[in-house]
Chain A
Amino acid sequence: MNLLRQGNNVDKALLENAANKERELKLKKQKLIQDFNSNKVAEYKKTVSTDHQFTAKVKSYLTH
């Protein structure tokens, strides 16, 4: 009887452990996606002024 109870406790602990792991991964993934979505435009904007400089310079160069 004791052995059966011990076995059940181990199963329960394993299940809890797996559920915790899954929750942890889900949170990590959510955090990553949230960070990506909130910062993507800001990271892209760092390229914009150089793009403007380049296009202005090329336009003037090709038309003169």
Chain B
Amino acid sequence: MEFTKDTEYLKSGLQRLINVEVSHRNEERAALISFYSTYNQWLYSLLDINLNVYNRTNVKDLLDRMTLVEKFHSETGIAQAKVKLLVKDDDIKSLTGLLWMRILEFKSWVDNKMIELKNILEIEIITAEED
């Protein structure tokens, strides 16, 4: 009778541990998928940019695009923080940081071009107003 009670106690303890492990594994998986998804939104918001479409009549669209890129930038940062918190594997955590850094470099390059174009368009607007 005592032996059966001990066995049941051990079984329930083991089941609890398994549940915690499964739940953690699911959260890890969700954090990684969320990071990869937001990181790709960020990347494609940069790749989609076509500077040919902007002119002095739609500078606001260019500013909106810059805002959108910034939004994905911060969302990816938040998703990365979740990975750091939940994922046990150090290599994955480090690769997440490296990937974030690579996209940030790409973003800086694109940002510079967008700012340069914005400046040109603003000068064009001022010049047109003077004329």
Chain A positions near chain B (C-beta within 8 angstroms): 18, 21-22, 25, 28-29, 32-33, 35-37, 39-40, 43-44, 46-47, 50-51, 53-55, 57-58, 61-62
Contacts and interface: CB of A to CB of B under 8 A. Distances in A.
Interface in B104-131: 105-106, 109-110, 113, 116-117, 120, 123-124, 127, 130-131
16 contacts: A18-B131, A25-B120, A25-B123, A32-B51, A33-B117, A36-B51, A44-B47, A46-B102, A46-B105, A51-B99, A54-B92, A54-B98, A57-B95, A61-B89, A61-B92, A62-B32
A43 B108 CA distance: 10
B105 A57 contact: no
Contact of B95 (A25, A29, A54): A54
A58 B36 contact: yes
B58 interface: no
Interchain residue pairs A-B with the least CB separation, the first 3: A47-B102, A54-B95, A36-B113
Interface of A, helix, strand, loop or mixed by DSSP: helix
Given A51-B102, A54-B95, 7 more contacts: A22-B124, A32-B120, A43-B110, A46-B102, A47-B43, A50-B99, A54-B36
Nearest to B105: A46
B86 interface: no
Interface string B29-67: 100100010000001001101011000000000000000
Nearest to B127: A21
A1 to B, nearest CB: 28
A3 B131 CA distance: 23
Contacts of A44: 43, 46-47, 106
B103 A29 contact: no
B95 A32 contact: no
Contacts of B46: 44
